[in-house]
Structure 1
């Protein structure tokens, strides 16, 4: 599992056929990471009670992961630029497994934060590398399909993570939920060890490279739009369980059902986002921003009506799920020659948005209550509409180039 330094001439050339088992193993790793990152969403109430902290403080289990991941993504790409990508990948997946075990065994708030920080390192490094690796495990004509398979891990995690966490937390305990997430990490580690070949680093990752990629208009305007829309989502989604408990006053069984339906809507939204992104990423991200603006208003001002709350949350799940695949497509279009660097910047933008949403959402939920969160969400999504309009250019309106590597 040790990452070795290898030269550009060491690895095998691009495969003539896709290495689907290896690509699926990447998707399994993404599933484990996304599940682990968002597991606290459905466990905030029992976690806060067990650890003796407020709901807002417990929500920072999301924040610390996001903050660390935002730095870890670019740092991993730069610091491991001379190492075999397979070894780096396995080390990061092993850290995913370890972080969940530490979370399950945490006896204090501080210990939980350390475990979640370790998850941030795994998340940042893995996510920054995943798109670039998928692009090297398939021939050019199958790259879009390979990326879609990897992103399926996000969709499945969106469907299963929150309701699974709520169910296990209610049936056993929140600690058992993290233990189950550790098992997913173990399965991903074994699958990757068996299927992923040695891969030399590609591109010329460095701080200078990241800055040059960031200066490309498609990249920096796209990242701004994504950050605003993602902030809108996570300001509300992080605290969705307390909201459903206190505003429409739903029971745990109904909350689990709503979260399951949210995940299904997200799966459908991911498919819709992929289809829209083939025609233009700006359209997909813009529709998501508009939908989040409208649903935030509904949840803030009429969420006490159960039917309104549930309907708005389902639309929310569908709309938000269009963003990750659209953002990933936008990055590969904007920087096909530096896929890992663009992936690191995209990861950093995602994590800044997640941490910002969780931090400000935590402040609002502790002062104004859960309903006030969606005012912040609506404002961020509305501002995102303006950023979407600034993306412009053919990259914003065209599909991912199949030969991008």
Structure 2
């Protein structure tokens, strides 16, 4: 279907085979630059979603709303992102994926501009709905497109790099955005994100080749179900991801008050501890990506067990500073691999419907973020911090159990 296509403005040519992956044995520099452009897009998308956490107090004061109302903007963006990611591959049909991604970055820029100029709660909600559309399209397509940009031998690495934008947003994006907001005002932070999203749109148009709908399986092959979610291995993976991400965000949203109340850490020390979490998260992303391509089930279930143990350890030994730091580091490396590990599970479970399954996966993931934040708030208000941690550790263990008894992808 593709034949020979140009790699955008890089002026290179390459041949693609009809499963959407390049037929060549080695990935060129231009193709890696295309993957980098995707990674920058996912980085900006997730930073845009999560930045209100870093500027929550001044944002709420500037809009004359409560911090709780300002925090609701994360739930709004997450839910809209989930809906968009789940349906984007069906809506765009045969459209050029390069142009769709560039347009999505443009929508992300508009969402950030609307947040920057918001004058009240209603405008804030509208801006985050718009942003959720852009975020869902970018994240929902990035991994599937990255797999089509490189030689077959480099697919797993390309997916890991593209998804690393999600982890690096927590490590670098939100702290940098918060620093800009503290120095120049919270509106300026969203303005910078809008400008960068515009530049990312241009970069995607320049770096990526023309990519249309992946070719259907050749004649003579067994027809695949139209709905990948009906496959048992996909359903199992979705259950594991929803339980695991919900558990993580229910607990991690309140990690700062946990460290303040139980360990007595100062704000400066907590910032360092969370940086440790982020660095270990990046390590976990690439380690999981290297292993999950061959063993997606074992990788994801190991990460689930790691998260359960880490939250339980923070609960049991969190009054000790070394114990709390060790638990946070384990938590970081385990959760850092969840996004790419889950992505590769789903890809192995439905290799003939990669775009569709990626959209469903990202939709479930982002909806679970919103659900986790909601559940965490209800538990903190209802039973307190310590019960919250024990309950979320049990939920992570439940994810592990579901993966053990459910159907796994073709690879173990």
2-structure distance, mates of 1:377, 1:391: 21
TM-score normalised by length of structure 1: 0.86
Alpha-carbon separation, structure 2, partners of 1:53 and 1:305: 37
Give me the whole-angstrom Cα distance separating, in 1, the residues matched to 2:225 and 2:82: 14
* Cα shift readout 1:347-405 (whole Å, capped 9, x = no counterpart): 111012111101111223344455553234223202101111134446341xxxxxxxx
- Retained in 2: the 8 A contact 1:39–1:162? yes
Tell me which moved more, 341-350 or 195-204. 195-204
Equivalent residue, structure 2, for 1:71: 83
State the 1:263 CA deviation.
Answer: 0.9
User: How far, CA to CA, are the matches of 2:259 and 2:126 in structure 1?
Assistant: 29
Please tell me whether residue 375 in structure 1 is matched to residue 384 in structure 2.
no
Give the one of 95, 99, 105 matched to 1:93: 105
Deviation at 1:228, TM superposition (A): 0.8
**Cα pair distance change 1:215/1:156, threshold 3 Å:** same
SS at structure 2 position matched to 1:395: coil
RMSD: 2.7
Shift of 1:277: 1.1
Aligned to 1:219: 234
For residue 283 of structure 2, what is the aligned residue in structure 1?
Answer: 268
> Within 5 Å, which residues of 2 pair with 1:175-324?
175-202=187-214, 212-300=227-315, 302-324=317-339
For the pair 1:141 / 2:179, whether they are aligned, the reply is no
Q: Deviations over 1:49-95 (max 9, x none)?
A: 54455544433222111111111112221111132212211110111
Task: Quote the offset at 1:32 in angstroms.
Answer: 0.8
Q: Which residue of 1 aligns with 2:72?
A: 60
Q: Secondary structure at the match of 1:222?
A: helix
**8 Å CA contact retained: 1:127, 1:347:** yes
Displacement after TM superposition at 1:244 (Å): 4.1
| SS of aligned partner of 1:123 | helix
Structure 1, 144-153 or 376-385: larger mean CA deviation: 144-153
Distance 1:107 1:259, change over 3 A: farther
Structure 1 residues 215 and 123: alpha-carbon distance in aligned structure 2, compared to 1, 3 A threshold: same
Give the Å deviation of 1:259: 2.1
Task: Pick from 342, 347, 369 the counterpart of residue 357 of structure 2.
Answer: 342
Deviation sequence 1:96-136 (CA, Å, 0-9, x none): 11212222332223322222221211121122221221222
> Equivalent residues in 2 for 1:9-28 (5 A)?
12=5, 13-14=15-16, 15=22, 16=24, 17-18=27-28, 19-28=31-40
CA distance in 2, matches of 1:96, 1:376: 35
5+ long unaligned stretches in structure 1: 1-7, 398-405
Q: Tell me, in whole angstroms, the C-alpha distance in 1 between the residues paired with 2:56 and 2:318.
A: 20
Does the aligned pair in 1 maintain the 2:180–2:186 contact within 8 Å?
Answer: yes
Give the Cα separation in 2 of the matches to 1:60 and 1:256: 24
Relative to structure 1, the CA distance from residue 192 to residue 258 in structure 2 (aligned partners, 3 Å threshold; closer, same or farther) is same
1:60–1:358 contact (8 Å) kept in structure 2: no
Q: 1:41 to 1:382 in 2, by over 3 A?
A: farther
Task: Tell me: CA distance 1:241–1:182, structure 2 relative to 1, closer, same or farther (3 Å).
Answer: farther
Q: C-alpha separation between the residues in 2 aligned to 1:128 and 1:340? A: 8
Contact 2:98–2:210 (CA under 8 A) maintained in structure 1: yes
Structure 2 runs not aligned, ≥5 long: 6-14, 17-21, 217-223
- Distance in 2 of aligned mates of 1:105 and 1:317: 35
Contact 2:237 2:345 in 1 (8 A): yes
Between 120-129 and 178-187, report the one with greater CA deviation.
178-187
Higher mean C-alpha deviation, range 301-310 or range 151-160 = 301-310
Moved more, 242-251 or 112-121: 242-251
Q: Which residue of 1 aligns with 2:219?
A: none
Higher relative contact order (CA 8 A, sep 6+): 1
Deviation at 1:25, TM superposition (A): 0.6
